[in-house]
Structure 1
Amino acid sequence: MPHLTANGCRLYYTDQGQGEPVVLIHGLGSSTRDWENQTDALSERYRVVCVDMRGHGLSDKPKGNYSIKGFSDDLVCLTEALDLQRPHIIGISMGGMIAFQLATDHPDIPASLTVINSAPEVRPKRVKEYAMVAQRLVLAHALPLSVTARGLARVLFPKAEQQTLRETFEQRWCENDRKAYLASLRAIIGWSVVERLDRICCPVLVISGDNDYMPIERKREYVCRLGDAHLEVIADSCHATPVDQPEHCNRLILDFLRQSESSRQPQQEITGA
């Protein structure tokens, strides 16, 4: 199994296809496996790299605190080690946060960003939001991981016909290391790069499920603060949009990547000349 060391942590990754590089970043408690509906579709045209972030999947699970910036720094090491020049970055949920962190810290790295059901900050601002954050932290630390996994699976896949998806994801979440999962959850709360969004200079696609946790209006607000960015809403989808609406999600991603390529081509030709 391919691994590389980033900042003292061995990271598992997959690498398939040829063409411009695309890096897929999973969400909290997830892994490379949850991109299974995207890798084949994307690798027909691109070099697709999926990575298990530290504390997740088949990567090392070091003790101590984690941070979104730390995850991003690991990702920078991965792009350098695999010689991924100007990769397209795609992240869901926590993975979208990591993408935002990388793009604001290193605006020269990404050729484009695709952010799915995520935001550039997780800072509660209203009493109700503080209560929700506190409840999630308390329950996550108090309940067994199996109970958390069962509850999340029901929220993400509420339909009767999604029983197989519920069972699959519940089993996968139960495989998480509890301490690493909680450290990753704590890394999210209070994080923000919203004041540095003007540093992002690449095209940005924001995809939202119509039934995602975060209201669509909140996503519209931060999209307006970005330069070359637009929002696409996928109907009949919750938080795990690449899983519950894979074909629609893949179509949006592929169209966006092609547009990003074509917009870069004239500049590349001028530079080459």
Structure 2
Amino acid sequence: MENKFIAVDGGGKFSYKEQGTGKTVVLLHGFCGSSAYWDELLPLLPNGYRWVLPDLRGHGQSGAPAGEYSMEAFAGDLAQQLKGLDSGPAIVLGHSLGGYIALAFAERYPEMLSGFGLIHSTGFPDTDAGKEGRLKGSATIEEQGLPAFIEGLVPKLFAPDHLQSMPEAVARTIQIGNNTDPQAAIRTLQGMRSRPDRNDVLSSTKVPVLLVAGAHDQIIPVERTFTVSGSQITQRLIETSGHMSMLEAPETLMEAIESFLATVY
């Protein structure tokens, strides 16, 4: 699938992939990822939906504008993109960083949503240890370069057993990560470090929400994803996955997404 491009005010050209027609479903990748994170899902995407897979600012083939990389800035990018694509209300499903953005989007642009979801993500802000880790990550990129940071990050994204059994997926994730703009990575670390608690967005939203957690996630434990329950909340645990179910268990993740879509539409 070829990348398309759309202009965003103040942000230059943003890259995205698009497949199908119908109600819009957006898949937002995680930190130091790109739309390529979803490649294993592409042949599994059901017909009847318009799938939009953006590259976030500074990631993949998108531009890296100056300025802040707050979750609100990312959400503003997405709002402009969806308006430019004349999408109508969409379902926004975000992996990790993409989930933080989905929450900011739900808070700021609720009228643009039919539903949203967090995939290996959380409504909580960073812990103190997490904030310290963001600073150390920024220092690593500044002092040793982005590849050194990516080499340290990626092994933590997979379930421990999969580091040996899925070497191609691990290598591909490193390759994708190295395409991130280094300064954008630093600014995004700052943006994630300063994001607020948005569990209230999850508990108060009027639209359906999907929460997906991996039993072996070393980045975001299950209990930090499954923070709310209620009639509008769908919780799905992927027993075999770490932080990267789109690569570790794509069929299981797709089944969870597809059944969620059926409850929304």
Report the TM-score when normalising by structure 2: 0.89
Q: Give the equivalent residue in structure 2 for 1:3.
A: 5
TM superposition shift of 1:163: 1.0
Q: Give the equivalent residue in structure 2 for 1:88.
A: 91
Aligned partner of 1:59 among 58, 62, 65: 62
TM superposition shift of 1:12: 0.9
1:149 aligns with 2:155: no
User: What amino acid is aligned across from residue 165 of structure 1 in structure 2?
Assistant: A
TM superposition shift of 1:244: 0.7
- 1:76 aligns to what SS in structure 2? helix
TM superposition shift of 1:64: 3.2
1:214 aligns with 2:235: no
- Judged with a 3 Å threshold, the aligned counterparts in structure 2 of structure 1 residues 16 and 116 are, in CA distance, closer, same or farther, namely same
Structure 1 contact 122–192 (Cα < 8 Å) conserved: yes
Structure 2 contact 211–233 (Cα < 8 Å) conserved: yes
TM superposition shift of 1:105: 1.1
Query: Any stretches of 5+ residues in structure 2 without a counterpart?
Result: none
Structure 2 contact 211–226 (Cα < 8 Å) conserved: no
> CA–CA distance in 2 between the matches of 1:43 and 1:58?
25
TM superposition shift of 1:217: 1.8
- Judged with a 3 Å threshold, the aligned counterparts in structure 2 of structure 1 residues 72 and 131 are, in CA distance, closer, same or farther, namely closer
- 1:24 aligns to what SS in structure 2? strand
User: What amino acid is aligned across from residue 262 of structure 2 in structure 1?
Assistant: R
User: What amino acid is aligned across from residue 209 of structure 2 in structure 1?
Assistant: V
- Judged with a 3 Å threshold, the aligned counterparts in structure 2 of structure 1 residues 129 and 156 are, in CA distance, closer, same or farther, namely closer
- Judged with a 3 Å threshold, the aligned counterparts in structure 2 of structure 1 residues 142 and 260 are, in CA distance, closer, same or farther, namely same
Structure 2 contact 140–148 (Cα < 8 Å) conserved: no
TM superposition shift of 1:21: 0.9
> CA–CA distance in 1 between the matches of 2:184 and 2:33?
12
TM superposition shift of 1:241: 1.4
Largest Rg, 1 or 2: 1
Report the TM-score when normalising by structure 1: 0.87
TM superposition shift of 1:229: 0.8
Aligned partner of 1:25 among 23, 28, 31: 28
Structure 2 contact 141–182 (Cα < 8 Å) conserved: no
> CA–CA distance in 1 between the matches of 2:131 and 2:104?
23
Aligned partner of 2:238 among 230, 234, 238: 234
TM superposition shift of 1:8: 2.0
- 2:61 aligns to what SS in structure 1? coil
Per-residue CA deviations over 1:21-50 (Å, capped at 9, x if unaligned) read 111111111111111122332252311011
Which runs of structure 2 are paired with 1:77-226 in the superposition (5 Å)? 77-124=80-127, 128-129=129-130, 131-157=132-158, 158=160, 159-194=163-198, 196-197=200-201, 198-212=203-217, 213-221=219-227, 223-224=228-229
> CA–CA distance in 1 between the matches of 2:130 and 2:61?
33
Query: Any stretches of 5+ residues in structure 1 without a counterpart?
Result: 262-273
Q: Give the equivalent residue in structure 2 for 1:42.
A: 45
Structure 2 contact 34–59 (Cα < 8 Å) conserved: yes
- What count of residue pairs does the alignment treat as equivalent? 257
User: What amino acid is aligned across from residue 10 of structure 2 in structure 1?
Assistant: G
- 2:42 aligns to what SS in structure 1? helix
Deviates more, 1:129-138 or 1:60-69: 129-138
TM superposition shift of 1:161: 1.6
Aligned-residue CA RMSD (Å): 2.0
Deviates more, 1:133-142 or 1:169-178: 133-142
Per-residue CA deviations over 1:66-112 (Å, capped at 9, x if unaligned) read 11101001101111111111111111001011101111112121111
Structure 2 contact 96–120 (Cα < 8 Å) conserved: yes
